[in-house]
Amino acid sequence: MRRVDAISIGLGVFLAGGLAYILLQLVGLDNQEAGIWSQVLLVSGLVGWLVTYFFRAVGQKMTYHQQREKYEQDFLQKRLEELTPEELAKIQAEIEQEEQTQV
């Protein structure tokens, strides 16, 4: 995430809190109650986002993990394509030998 993105998100959350405060006042809540409920909404949103972040991090569904897996797959595919038929046959024979040893 770029710095400007982080600043934009922070500014958006700040403006959303102010908008919630104004809307709650228009609904009929006094200043103190509108302030409390706007804070409740913002904190609930933050906690909800943290929960989704936690599950994405634990489930390795983060962009970094996906990019890394794709890079590793592409790298291995490129290495496989660069192998000569003799090298490929040798590797396949080694794999078959290991599988027979494990059984």
Count of CB atoms situated within 10 Å of the CB of 1:
8
AA letter at 96: E
Residue 98 is predicted with a pLDDT of: 87
pLDDT along the chain (103 residues), means of 10: 87 92 93 93 92 86 84 92 88 88 77
Using an 8 Å Cβ cutoff, are 24 and 34 in contact? yes
Residue 57 is predicted with a pLDDT of: 82
Residue 44 is predicted with a pLDDT of: 93
Residue 100 is predicted with a pLDDT of: 86
Residue 78 is predicted with a pLDDT of: 92
Using an 8 Å Cβ cutoff, are 21 and 34 in contact? yes
